[in-house]
């Protein structure tokens, strides 16, 4: 699979923690070539699964066997499940209200709730820096994130038509968040 990205950036983020979005997990769970290519590129990064992403990934699997296969996929050794407990729930929940207000103020009231919670979990991690890899260019933007890297993959669909798939690697920007929060109308 042909890929296009800046290898110096991949080198510069060596060792940084990366949270994977559902679209990245889903695509890598269903394409052996994409699975091998993507995780080779990210072989020097610990990869994390957010609890909300896990729910999004598993919710389509209502057949028991498929559910077990997808659960097994999440247990591949390269993935680490993010810690979750009551204190974190409260912080995430509180942050989600602020993020939802910010999006609404910027004319984005329809950002999916799951994406708000995924963003909120990154906002509360002020001590540990996480990056976020997603295919979603609409609901994760430079309003609250900095874009670090674009990874492009030459792919073919089921009808053998070529297309370019872009993934963006983002970093939550606490200053942008604070500025947006401070600028909400009184």
Partner 1 sequence: MMKVSKESKKTEAEKKISFSDGLKIVQEIQKKVEAFNKTKSSSHSSNEYSF
- Contacts to partner 1 by CB under 8 A: 22-23, 26-32, 35-36, 39, 59-63, 66, 68-73, 75-78, 157-159
Q: Cα 148 from chain centroid?
A: 13
User: What's the min distance (Å) between Cβ of 113 and partner 1?
Assistant: 17
Strand, coil or helix: 79: strand
* Burial label, 58 (beta-carbon count in 10 A; 0-12, 13-18, 19+): middle
User: What's the min distance (Å) between Cβ of 85 and partner 1?
Assistant: 18
Question: Which of 167, 129, 150 lies closest to 45, judged by CA?
Answer: 129
Closer to partner 1 by Cβ: residue 36 or 142 = 36
Closer to partner 1 by Cβ: residue 159 or 182 = 159
User: What's the min distance (Å) between Cβ of 130 and partner 1?
Assistant: 21
Question: Which of 155, 150, 148, 154 lies closest to 167, judged by CA?
Answer: 150
Closer to partner 1 by Cβ: residue 3 or 23 = 23
Closer to partner 1 by Cβ: residue 22 or 95 = 22
């Amino acid at each position: 699979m042909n890929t296009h990205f800046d290898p110096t950036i991949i080198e510069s983020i060596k060792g940084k923690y990366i949270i994977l979005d559902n679209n990245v997990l889903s695509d890598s769970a269903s394409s052996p070539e994409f699975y091998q290519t993507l995780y080779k590129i990210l072989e020097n990064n610990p990869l994390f699964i957010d609890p909300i992403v896990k729910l999004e990934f598993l919710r389509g699997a209502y057949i028991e066997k498929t559910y077990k296969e997808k659960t097994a996929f999440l247990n591949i050794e390269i993935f680490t499940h993010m810690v979750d407990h009551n204190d974190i729930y409260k912080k995430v929940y509180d942050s989600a209200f602020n993020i939802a207000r910010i999006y609404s103020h910027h004319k984005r009231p329809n950002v999916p709730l799951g994406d708000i919670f995924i963003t909120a979990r990154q906002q509360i991690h002020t001590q540990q820096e996480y990056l976020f890899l997603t295919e979603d260019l609409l609901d994760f933007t430079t309003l609250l994130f900095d874009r670090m890297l674009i990874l492009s993959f030459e792919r073919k669909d089921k009808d053998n038509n070529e297309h370019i798939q872009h993934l963006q690697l983002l970093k939550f920007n606490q200053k942008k968040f604070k500025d947006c929060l401070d600028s909400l109308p009184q």
